[in-house]
Amino acid sequence: MPALTGRTALITGADRGIGLALARRLGAEGANLVLHSNNADGLRQTLQAEQWPAERIHTAVLDVADADAVERSVAEAVDRFSGIDYLLNVAGIVHYGGIEQCTVDQWQQTLQTNLTGYFLMARSVLPHMRKAGDGVIVNMSSIWGRRPAPGTLAYSVSKYGVEGLTKCLAEEARPWGVKVSSLVLDKVDTNFRDGMAARISYDAEQRDRMLSADDVADATLAILTSSSRAHPSSIELDAWRWI
């Protein structure tokens, strides 16, 4: 029997990149999938392409920074599957620019999506995990949340925030039997950087040395299936072939 049969995973940013790789991997392991995205067309195309069994899928189109929409979508998913076992916070954005280039709108949008969105999802899901006495939250973080990246100031600051949020939630949720972990990612070959293509681009050889979305899925599954005695509080996934 697949490792996650009967479990339910909520994945944000699920129609592309890392979110889609996670949905594929957890779906193959038998999990029910609650798939969130702000892109209705992308989510619909993903469902058509993947052909997951309808009885194991629940979707929501929303902005993770919209508190009311998050609350509603989580309540609907809990009603559908009687709980949520795993929350995978993936949805994120990035803008190029240091302090002189980053606009106020870009700053606010980045923090709202990358940090407030994680907070809102956790705030909505954790009461259900607490009631069950079990659960795992995995926050996708970045090496730029541990060392500064002036060229992507707002993104780096948001990921420093994710690291702090993860540590705080881990301590708060520990007595409830809930694990909260961060997955600290080096360069991953996805379309995440498309918005900065005019500023930053990589050739095929460079992209081949990056992590893949499937590498991230492997590490995430290791966290989700870890022993009840073990808490992988943070895993840093290096693109070790990068030069």
The residue annotated as part of the active site, out of 86, 155, 160, 202, is 155
pLDDT at 197: 63
pTM over cut 0.85: yes
> What's the pLDDT tens digit per position in 3-21?
999 999 999 999 999 999 9
Instruction: Please say if 155 is a catalytic residue.
Output: yes
Residues 85, 136 contacting (CB under 8 angstroms): yes
- Domain layout of the chain by residue ranges: 8-237
Judged against a pLDDT cut of 70, whether residue 75 lies above it is answered with: yes
Fold of 8-237: Rossmann fold (3.40.50)
> What's the pLDDT tens digit per position in 157-203?
999 999 999 999 999 999 999 999 999 999 999 987 666 666 777 88
Q: What is the mean pLDDT of residues 37-64?
A: 97
Give helix 213-224 / helix 17-28 axis angle, nearest 10°. 50
